[in-house]
Amino acid sequence: MNMFDINDIAMDIEDRIRKDEKKKFSARVLKEAYEAQNIGRIEDPDGCASITGPCGDTMEFSIKVKDSRISDIRFMTDGCGSSIACGSATTKMALGRTLETALNISDIDILNELGGLPEENRHCAKLAADTLRKAFRNYQEKGR
């Protein structure tokens, strides 16, 4: 490698970061973080909620409900890569489910779906599960 080629240096750094990530996170976590689905905010949602976790990161879910099923769901977060992975995985797990079964999605379910998270990131799954439940409560309060 040419030591003065900034592009090569940048690629080398990125390569090393990716290798470190692979040691720490499952392939599924990295996929959900780098290719996150259902990011955004639904206009005129049937239910919406956000929670700021103890780490200071915020998660938000907005949902649409049709025939007692989640017909659309989006998430936003200003958090870390694992919170993005948790948000993305949670939307995929909840989409199309009945409200009753979606309500039962727990942080353990999200962790299992992602193939686990390092101890210091496990709260990201709880933040996602808690926020989803709060969005359901908001839906119920609206009485749509």
Residue 70 or 86 having the CB closest to ligand FES: 86
Half-sphere exposure of 65 (CA within 13 A, CB side): 21
Residue nearest to ligand FES (CB): 55
Contact segment (CB under 6 A) with ligand FES among 38-46, 93-101, 120-128, 131-139 equals 120-128
Query: Which of the residues 1 through 60 are near ligand FES (CB under 6 A)?
Result: 53, 55, 57
Contact segment (CB under 6 A) with ligand FES among 27-35, 87-95, 105-113, 123-131 equals 123-131
Q: Give me the helix-helix angle, 81-94 and 122-142, nearest 10°.
A: 40
Kindly state the number of chain residues that form the binding site for ligand FES, as judged by CB under 6 A.
Answer: 11
Q: Per CB under 6 A, does 87 bind ligand FES?
A: no
Residues in touch with ligand FES (CB under 6 A): 53, 55, 57, 79-80, 82-83, 121, 123-124, 127
